[in-house]
Chains A and B, each alone.
Chain A
Amino acid sequence: MAKAFELTTEMRPSGGGEVAVVRAIGDVDLATSDRLAAELASDACSASAGVVLDLTEVPFMDSSGLRAVLVSIEELDCPLAAIVAPGSAVSRLIDVTEVGPLLASYPTQEEALAALPEIGSHGEEGGK
């Protein structure tokens, strides 16, 4: 049974500014990707110095979820880094679609936070 989809956003200080840490829990697909897009477009994310999107508790994501993330990267004025568990379904989706260069992803929150200053506001300099 798939988990109910949940989103939380927490602000945390990082490098002299505040970073929005958005955590998604559950499947991201046609039924839920709009909610993820809306969260990433929220005032909290828009006004932050950077966004870290935690996808480690997303057991499944399809192209609608990927689109929500990539559109957000284009629309945000601040950098976005994703936390993606190696070997996960999200990691596999990024590999299969070859969008790695557009989506900076890291295995841990610490690495994602540390990488934010190096990432352009539209996702250049993708992670691992």
Chain B
Amino acid sequence: MAREAVASYARECGAPEEDVKLAVSEAVSNAVVHGFRDRKGGEIGLKAQTQPGCLLITVADNGIGMTPHLKSPGLGLGIALITRVSHEVQFESTVSGTTVSMRFLI
């Protein structure tokens, strides 16, 4: 749902829709798999906003922060994929959550 909503917004803004979908999916999956793996439930917020020349998408969770997870269902590729498909990316991780900020050129 989140992926489709943000893809629609990306399309309207002229950002690369498929790259945005992939990056959002990886960021949300990371939050689910890494942030909340030792607890039931939590919050993941998704925000998209245009800035001059780019679309800024922020995925923030209130999980335990980014820590290694040996049984990750990804390929360990999530962060690498986000980095490859976005123009710029920032990760902020603390014990009270992780925020991934991704910029896409428009």
Query: A residues engaging B (CB < 8 A)?
Result: 1-2, 29-30, 33-34, 60, 62-64, 66-67, 70, 89, 92-93, 96-97
B9 CB to closest chain A CB (Å) equals 16
Tell me the complex Cα distance, A70–B77, Å: 13
Q: Whose C-beta in chain A lies nearest to the C-beta of B4?
A: A2
Tell me the complex Cα distance, A63–B4, Å: 17
Contact count A vs B, C-beta below 8 Å: 53
Q: How many chain B residues touch the partner (CB < 8 A)?
A: 19
Contact of A30 among B18, B32, B81 (CB under 8 A): B32
Mark each residue of chain B from 59 to 79: 1 if its CB lies under 8 Å from any CB of chain A, else 0.
000000000000001110110
Q: Which residues of A contact B81 (CB under 8 A)?
A: 62-63, 96-97
Check if B75 sits within 8 Å of A30, measured CB to CB.
Answer: no
B7 CB to closest chain A CB (Å) equals 9
